[in-house]
Amino acid sequence: MKINNFSAGPSKIPNEVINTIKGSIENFNNLGYSILEISHRSSEFLDIVNNSKILFSQLLNIPSKYEIVFLQGGATFQNSFLPLNFPNLNKDIIFLLTGTWGKKTYDDFNLLFANNLNNITYNNHTLKQLTEEISLTKQDKMFLTSNETINGIQLRNFNSFNKQLYIDMSSDICSYGFSWENVEYVFAGAQKNLGIPGLTIIIFDPNKLNVQNIPSYLNLQNHLDKNSLFNTPPTFSIYVLYEMLNWMKNLGGLEYIENLNRVKSESVYAFLDSHEEIIQVPVNDEFRSLSNIIFNFKNKDYDKAFLEFAKENGFIGLNGHRSVGGIRVSNYNSITINMIDDLLSLINDFILKNDNK
Ligand SMILES: Cc1ncc(COP(=O)(O)O)c(C=O)c1O
């Protein structure tokens, strides 16, 4: 049976990338050995690191003053790594909380910053109300989660906030382009649009780095000085990132990808809205995520029944996060228009089947 993987992460890897990786596992670049065996000190691996950084800069149009570093520990590690390396944030950062992941980051920061931090919590604001409320606060800097993977809430208008931004972009990095004008630090776990777990990418303005006397692995300056090779890095995860970036470039870059993501997500939301008598989409139009589309059936029994029906038909990863339930369609870059069409037919079949009962 054909499997359609809509998982929120780790998530679908494009077939083209899987095929390239298959070849590299057998024999990387005709070197006669596997990518799995590559030494992180070899010139071949150094090329992978440097070329990935170049591809990243090109795709995301990153200004030259920014640095890119590859780390481990997942996005969650950033919740302690970031405040340890930027202790001055204690004085001047506010958090914009739009969901579960931002709250986790906020709580971890507060542990290190003696509960000194303030937040604005999104509560069905309009974007205008939110920007107004933010503009009244005194802090220069703001943390936000650009896409709340569990809650399906996305913020893409970074320039509408009058703050220097620190952003968790784990679930929507490289799904659209943006201006770096007021962005100081971005982090993202790789396991959605950038490949597989084990790798976290950070992109930051090194002039803001305020390094203290902290243990060596925790010190960002060490990772920067050693070009992400301070200790043994997750070589395979970095290689997969490299192939994902090549794939995005060959597909047509972020403009093309963003457009595709828009077309796909708009067709899902339009379908869901056209069935509002039985389906509920809890996120307001302005904040609806292109990356994670959340909904539930008004009849609670239908959620479980639909997920079972989906699984029987080869559709996996559609369950909402265990903390919220419901259905979640993760529409990452690797999801094709055909997959979305097939999914909408599946939901339609489910509705017809149950309406006739
Ligand atoms: C937006 C966001 N932030 C943070 C995390 C945590 O990532 P990790 O499991 O890599 O620590 C996730 C995981 O899905 C996420 O979606």
Residues 6+ apart with CB under 8 A from 196: 10, 13, 190, 236, 237, 240
- The edge-to-edge listing of strands for the beta sheet with 183-189 is 67-71, 200-204, 183-189, 164-168, 141-145, 93-97, 118-121
Quick check: is 107 in a domain?
yes
- The CB of 79 under 6 Å from ligand 1? The reply is no
Q: Is the pLDDT of residue 356 over 80?
A: no
Residues 216 and 117 occupy one common structural domain: yes
Q: What is the DSSP letter of 357?
A: -
Residues 239 and 304 occupy one common structural domain: no
**Mean pLDDT for the stretch of residues 3-8:** 98
| pLDDT interval class at 212 (50, 70, 90) | confident
Nearest ligand 1 atom to alpha carbon 8: 14
Q: Is the pLDDT of residue 285 over 80?
A: yes
Mean pLDDT, rounded, of the chain: 96
| pLDDT interval class at 357 (50, 70, 90) | low
User: 138, 117 in Cβ contact below 8 A?
Assistant: no
Q: What is the pLDDT of residues 73-127, one digit of tens each?
A: 999 999 999 999 999 999 999 999 999 999 999 999 999 999 889 999 999 999 9
Q: Is the pLDDT of residue 200 over 80?
A: yes
**Ligand 1 midpoint to CA 189 (Å):** 6
Residues 262 and 242 occupy one common structural domain: no
Range of the domain at 68: 15-251
**Mean pLDDT for the stretch of residues 218-245:** 98
Integer Cα distance of 219 and 300 in angstroms = 48
Residues 191 and 337 occupy one common structural domain: no
- The CB of 9 under 6 Å from ligand 1? The reply is yes
pTM over 0.95: yes
- Dihedral pair phi/psi, residue 162, rounded to 5°: -90, 45
Nearest-CA residue for ligand 1 atom 1 is 170
Secondary structure of residue 67 in the 3-state scheme: strand
- Dihedral pair phi/psi, residue 77, rounded to 5°: -60, -30
Residues 190 and 262 occupy one common structural domain: no
Q: What percent of the chain has pLDDT over 70?
A: 99
Q: Is there a cis peptide before residue 10, judged by omega within 30 degrees of 0?
A: yes
pLDDT at 211: 80
Residues 55 and 91 occupy one common structural domain: yes
CATH number of 294's domain? 3.90.1150.10
Residues 72 and 204 occupy one common structural domain: yes
| pLDDT interval class at 68 (50, 70, 90) | very high
Quick check: is 278 in a domain?
yes
Residues 226 and 327 occupy one common structural domain: no
Residue 119, H or E segment: strand 118-121
**Ligand 1 midpoint to CA 348 (Å):** 31
| pLDDT interval class at 134 (50, 70, 90) | very high
**Ligand 1 midpoint to CA 203 (Å):** 16
CATH number of 217's domain? 3.40.640.10
Q: Where a domain ends, among 251, 283, 299?
A: 251
Residues 163 and 217 occupy one common structural domain: yes
Residue 144, H or E segment: strand 141-145
Secondary structure of residue 295 in the 3-state scheme: strand
- Dihedral pair phi/psi, residue 214, rounded to 5°: -125, 160
- The CB of 75 under 6 Å from ligand 1? The reply is yes
What's the domain count of the chain?
Answer: 2
- The CB of 313 under 6 Å from ligand 1? The reply is no
Q: Is the pLDDT of residue 164 over 70?
A: yes
Residue 186, H or E segment: strand 183-189
**Ligand 1 midpoint to CA 128 (Å):** 28
Integer Cα distance of 293 and 318 in angstroms = 10
Residues 261 and 212 occupy one common structural domain: no
- The CB of 168 under 6 Å from ligand 1? The reply is yes
Residue 351, H or E segment: helix 337-355
User: 310, 353 in Cβ contact below 8 A?
Assistant: no
pLDDT at 28: 98
Residues 45 and 166 occupy one common structural domain: yes
Q: How many CB atoms lie within 10 A of CB 289?
A: 29
pLDDT at 208: 85
